[in-house]
Amino acid sequence: MIQAELKGKLPEVENREDVLTSNVLGLMKYLPPRKGIFKILSELKDYSMDRNSLFDNLKSQNININDYDTVDYLFWENSPKHGEPDLILIIKSPKQHLKELMLCIEVKYFSGKSRSGEYDQLMDYCLSLENKDARKTYKNPKIKKFNGIFLGLIYLTYFSQYNSVREALREIRKKGFNDYESNFYELRWNDVTRVLSSSESKNKYENKLIKDVVLLLKKKNLVDFEGFTNVSFSYKFDKHVFLEALK
């Protein structure tokens, strides 16, 4: 589908979040984690006062991401009670003594949360995936049986969603849970574009995949703001207008 989107053949779906999720994150599963998804995860910042990175938080738990080399991508897995997160990552190590890691990614393009208040969407996903009994409500057996460490929720958005996350944190505190700021991570689409643009592989086919993803992100203008370019205008100063304004 990414080729059809690159050529403008699917205008009816170009603003669909699920299509964007599939075309970008869905293709990351075909890259080795260190060349794809781990590079994206390196851009994460939590919502604590220190704005720690995910890898800094892992380090504080004596977890080294370099010990992990496999990722299961679980798209739109449903829980009748808690809903359907866009993507759940289960990160695995070849070292048997190391626990699996789980991250939830909720993706937005132009829209906001589908639920707020008592049933806040972000809160619901975070608390349900952290809790062993709540995970059993998900239909996918990999989620049901997960017995590792839940690292938190990534909110991948176009614009800043600081207020939406603070709302979720307030709802979590109402339920008697504190210090969840380090379980929520900010990620913007322009971060994804930037980090993939600088990613290179010795494998030419991997490079082709990365290049197409970057082309799509740039086509959608999901890039860093680089200032105004090629802006020129002619301005003739009229002293009579200026003097009139001072009266």
Q: How far is CA 194 from CA 103, 190, 191, 217, 221, in A?
A: 21, 6, 5, 10, 12
| Number of Cβ within a 10 Å radius of residue 94 | 9
* 104 within 8 A of 154, measured Cβ to Cβ: yes
Specify the pLDDT at position 152.
97
Specify the pLDDT at position 23.
94
Phi-psi region of 221 (alpha: psi -120 to 50; beta: other; left: phi over 0): left
Q: Which residue has the tokens 């008592």?
A: 118
| Number of Cβ within a 10 Å radius of residue 101 | 21
Specify the pLDDT at position 227.
54
pLDDT block averages, 10 residues each, the chain of length 247: 87 87 96 96 95 96 96 97 97 96 95 89 97 97 97 95 94 94 96 94 94 96 70 44 39
Q: Which residue has the tokens 């999901």?
A: 222
Specify the pLDDT at position 131.
96
Q: Which helix (H) or strand (E) holds 189?
A: helix 189-197
Q: How far is CA 81 from CA 29, 53, 138, 239, in A?
A: 28, 31, 8, 69
